[in-house]
Amino acid sequence: MLVTGASGFIGRAVVERLAADRRYVVRAALRRPVPDLVAAVEQCVVGDLDATTDWRPALEGVHALVHTAARVHVMHETHADPLAAFRAINVAGTLRLAQQAADAGVRRFVFLSSLKVNGESTLPGHPFREDDAPVPRDPYGVSKHEAEQALLALARATPMEVVIVRPPLVYGPGVKANFARLMRLVLRGMPLPFGAIDNRRTLVALDNLVDLVVTCIAHPAAANQIFLAGDAEDLSTTELLRRLGRALGKPARLIPLPAPWIEIAAALAGQRAVAQRLCGSLQADIGKAARVLGWKPPVAVDAALQATADWLLSSANR
């Protein structure tokens, strides 16, 4: 079993889960050696991910692989041509790996994509589904969609099976970016203007995403399928902050401002996209995974939020 991006937030969790399962011999593909990776895991340094990466040493004897390595969504983009930068890694780099994997006789390729392939927002009660027409809006989403299309074409032309998993925002111990910032604001007791947001957003706990990915490695019905990932419960931003406050032992200080006011203020501050994510809805229907794979998220939202909060609190005390 090969896992790429094994030092990342999701890749490391996949490696640890597989290494704990005695059915798998796990190899981690890495840009450079990682001293604190699970000792039982073989490390294979492949360097940077692009159209020239030589994956053949890492693929020797591999039956299945999970591809989590990617150029991820960038909050403050500095590249002159962001789409070209995303395509070089997420499309050309992924296809290079997939072609060499097919040549090496790999039987199944599990690809971690993104809900951004579907789009950026939904109407409440009208979640995205796997068979919706993709409408990616940013370079990251476009690159993931193009990679999906290239992988499915390769699956049609070779014996290698492809499984695509599209997660929304992933949270859990070790989470960074906006989710971690939101938790820290709650922990500091900062007043937040999100006390009256009636949206719905699908999130996925890291343990739930890893469980779905591991299910997709071996389940016969997963071959050449696309699955949306998510928790069993969608939350409004208001409810998410309240539950985070409970998990942190610091009740969230929420001011009930109307969503349009927040969006106007955010636009004036150059933060329109952030406000849209906090005030708008983005839901995913995870019913296909239940129907096809018999999969349900094993970890409840409150338990996952508590684990995330415990990690943040322990990190703050170090």
Residues contacting residue 216 through CB under 8 Å, at least 6 positions apart: 110, 163, 165, 222, 227, 293
- Nearest alpha-carbon partner for 59 in 1, 116, 111, 132: 1
- Which residues belong to the active site? 140
Query: CA 104, CA 90: separation in Å to the nearest integer?
Result: 21
Name 73's Cβ contacts closer than 8 Å, sequence gap at least 6: 114, 116, 138, 140
Please report the DSSP string for 186-210 in residue order.
HHTT--BS-TT----B-EEEHHHHH
* Distances, alpha carbon 14 to alpha carbons 30, 57, 200, 297, in Å: 14, 21, 28, 15
By three-state DSSP, how is residue 57 classified? helix
Distance CA 64, CA 261 (A): 50
CB 85 within 8 A of CB 49: no
Closest CA to 8 of 149, 216, 170: 170
Cross-strand bridge partners of residue 67: 4, 111
Quickly tell me which residue has 């409840």 as its tokens. Answer: 300
| DSSP string over 2-29 | EEESTTSHHHHHHHHHHHTSTT---EEE
